[in-house]
A and B are shown apart, each in its own frame.
Chain A
Amino acid sequence: MASDAWQIGSERPPTVCLCCGSRFDDGNHRMRGPYDTGPYRYVCEWCWKKSYMFFPDKVQHVERHAITEQDGMVALAPIVDLEITKGRKIPARLVVVPVRDVRLSPTNPRIRHKLPSNDETEVEDWLWREEGTKSLYNEIKYSGGLSEKPIIDSNLTVVEGNRRIVCLRRLGDQASNGELPDYSENAFQTVQCLMLPQDTDPKDVDLLVARYHVSGKKEWAPLSQAEQIFDMVNKHNMSRKDVASALSLSPQRIEIMFEAFKATLDYGNRFHDNEGKWIHKFSYFYELFRRPQLRTWVQDGKNMVQFMELISGEKPRLSVGSQVRDLGNIIEDKKAFDYLLSDGFERANEVVRVKHAKFDRYTKTLQQASEALLELTRDPTRLSKDPKKTRVLGTIKERVDYLLSEKIARAKR
């Protein structure tokens, strides 16, 4: 096919690149080809080198193998201790590896529920489109490198730092295409990584990742955090208390995330869909379990089923997670709840709003105070940290006692 394309009536190779039209020379535009199966029989080196242009002889068969600590390169590499929990460390090796040899992790919680497949290019595409990746790319481009080293396992699969690798790949492509005048063609071709030993316990790997993204400075979305916590409890048989102390998070938060994710999985079993949309109902369950009133409400299995029905289907009664925040008021009012079942959230919420508008501002303040007290009972450690709060509580108690005694006395009279 290609042989008929450019050269009807011509027998000799062309003098210009059939792709970009540049005259062939002995330098950047030297001739490559012939290609019998592609649209261009002859192209120049400049076009051939573009990472996004396909030519059959560009297919690289990179032989990848697990790098063991006996390998010369790794054995000589300096050791950097990565702290997992207090006193427990993983001795990672500081190694330099070609960016293209590093594999992205399709199980990365950022993307694992969005990916249509585990293909490397799909993973790269999704990560590139992730919010914040382009800012990271600009940062790296501006600074000329990474400030934090990615962590990889001994198979060169990323444990931590997928987005950084994606950015480096893009920058490497652009540098080799001559699109980054400030950098040489070989810039961004290799990356310094921290390589975990081959025998690292998977539990420690999960803990390490959780420390970065659940309680660390680069927080994942709540769904990803919850899934990580769920895995640590279920896969590695860690108690929730242990998870909480390992991640320096409150046991309540761990509990909420765990229960919300577990409920999401139950929902997935009941209302399964092939596209995996069910997993994104997590936000509803997260809102549900964050509220003590609703948590108590769904302890009754019937209510949980009813809640799942409210968030399922083509046109769910609760169509966004934030609506769950108002569900507490709705379930308290039978009329509003009936409206929720029959007409949907807007109508039900309207009923509640009308009712609440009738409250005077003192009632509202008292309600808020009551909610604040409820929060404190859930986490009494807050009181111990702040003596002012204890004093205020004492004053409130005195006044409440007085008011109630007066009320009772008046009622008696």
Chain B
Amino acid sequence: MLVEPEFYTRYPPLGLLKIAALHRYRGDSVELVRGQSHPLRRPDRVYVTSLFTYAWKPVHRAVRYYKRLFPDIPVSLGGIYASLLPDHAAASGADYVHRGLMDEAEGFMPDYDLVPEWDGSIMFASRGCIRRCGFCSVPKLEGRPSALKYSIKHLIYPGHTKANGCCNKRHHTRVILWDNNILGNSNWRAIFDELEELGLITDFNQGLDARLVTQEVAEKIAKIRMEVVRVAYDYHGIGPAVKRAIELLKEAGVSSRKIISYTIFNYQDDPKDFFERVRDLLNWGAVCYPMRFEPLTSLDKNRFVSPRWTREEIEIVAKARRVIGYAGAFPPYAGLVDKFNRAKDFREAFELRDRSGTKPPNFLKEQDLDINGGTKARAQTRLGGGLDWRETTVLDQEKFQLGE
């Protein structure tokens, strides 16, 4: 039995689906459940997955529940939280805490039959990363680049058709690469060519390393069906590389509204540094998506305030994202760029004036912005000032220990 605890996630549990494939290959039957429920059959093994460290409570709840339900059955706990904080995970009562990848399952295609409503093939063309960013869990979990693939075609779920006499499970129409730094994979050209040839909607979910974006990379990206291109502007030092990457992408034909830059804050930066990075990105014509740093040992989300920030300053950013931002991001609308260019400091840029009774500025009216894998979110102005978010989206944060 495979258990996905009741934490928030937009993606199916990839690790569990691979374990499912491994067990089916061995001739076992498999059942996937979410949260605490009663399985159809008594299992002889229970696997529980985990995600962020701060989402540990539903994990403990699930382990305790299944230990109570099946006291004699071994319960294994794995996933990101279990790998990062194994001592804490052990307190859940799991019989076995697994750290890192499960080598014997890693090579299997995830068993998407268990999630028939899901329409995207998730894969890794490589593991690990050539960088060692302190805020990221990847160097801790996966280390240096490994498991480099030359081809990913065979990892796309073919689906089923009625003609096969089986069922009508969907053929996947999207490719989601969870590579932490695909451009650090020496085989990236072959992978990009394949993606172009496949013509499927592609999402480099963890972003591209702006320092490795060359003219050749930008041209190849422009040929792939991508709804959003993600980069990151983590500190001033990589500013020139980020600027150049954005320019190259635009020259190659990628719309600037499709270029999103994750911008970390509340880490080793300070409000002034953050303000300058946001301003840079807006001037370069990219969408800035602030990501609040969360320590890798945190058991409670959004509690950490770094020594160079105050809670009040963090709240100012959060409010600005809600009110003058769009779906949590700052798009390079003329009015917003102007506001940031005129601002003398962080507070002037992010603090909001009392607009009650006044008309909202033009740049806040009815804008469509395509920032999240094709999801169109619509901002609607509300008379009397401010934005009313009828639909908002959360960018993909599942893999990083970041964000809010």
Contacts and interface: CB of A to CB of B under 8 A. Distances in A.
A344 interface: no
A121 B297 CA distance: 17
B50 interface: no
A116 B85 contact: no
Interface in A1-33: 1-2, 4-6, 8, 18-22
Nearest to A2: B140
Contacts of B139: 4-6
Interface in A35-52: 37-40, 43, 46-47, 50, 52
A116 B141 CA distance: 31
A266 interface: no
A5 B140 contact: yes
Interface in B254-282: 267-268
B303 interface: yes
B140 A39 contact: yes
A52 B306 contact: no
A55 B140 contact: no
Given A6-B132, A20-B268, A21-B268, A119 B64 contact: yes
Contacts of B267: 21
B15 interface: no
B305 to A, nearest CB: 7
Given A18-B134, A21-B267, A56-B87, A38 B64 contact: no
Contact of B36 (A21, A43, A116): A116
A87 to B, nearest CB: 46
B100 A55 contact: no
B122 interface: no
B27 interface: no
B295 A38 contact: no
Given A21-B306, A119-B60, A274-B38, 5 more contacts: A38-B296, A40-B296, A46-B307, A52-B303, A125-B57
Contact of B307 (A4, A20, A37): A20
B64 A117 contact: yes
B206 interface: no
Contacts of A1: 83, 99-100, 140-141
Given A5-B140, A6-B132, A37 B87 contact: yes
A121 B307 contact: no
A22 B65 CA distance: 41
Given A6-B132, A53-B295, A38 B84 contact: yes
A50 B304 contact: yes
A21 B134 contact: yes
B297 A54 contact: yes
Nearest to A116: B61
Contacts of A56: 87
A325 B99 CA distance: 57
Contacts of A125: 57
Contacts of A4: 139, 143
Contacts of B64: 117, 119
A392 interface: no
6 contacts: A1-B100, A38-B296, A52-B300, A122-B57, A179-B305, A274-B38
Of B64, B84, B100, B307, most A-chain CB atoms within 10 Å: B307
B132 A121 contact: no
Contacts of A179: 305, 311
A76 B143 CA distance: 60
A313 B26 CA distance: 41
A37 B296 contact: no
A366 interface: no
A172 B269 CA distance: 28
Of B86, B88, B100, most A-chain CB atoms within 10 Å: B88
Contacts of A8: 132, 144
B213 to A, nearest CB: 24
Nearest to A5: B140
Nearest to B137: A39
A59 interface: yes
A55 B299 CA distance: 11
Contacts of A5: 132, 139-140, 143
Contacts of B134: 6, 18, 21
A54 B85 contact: yes
A122 B141 CA distance: 29
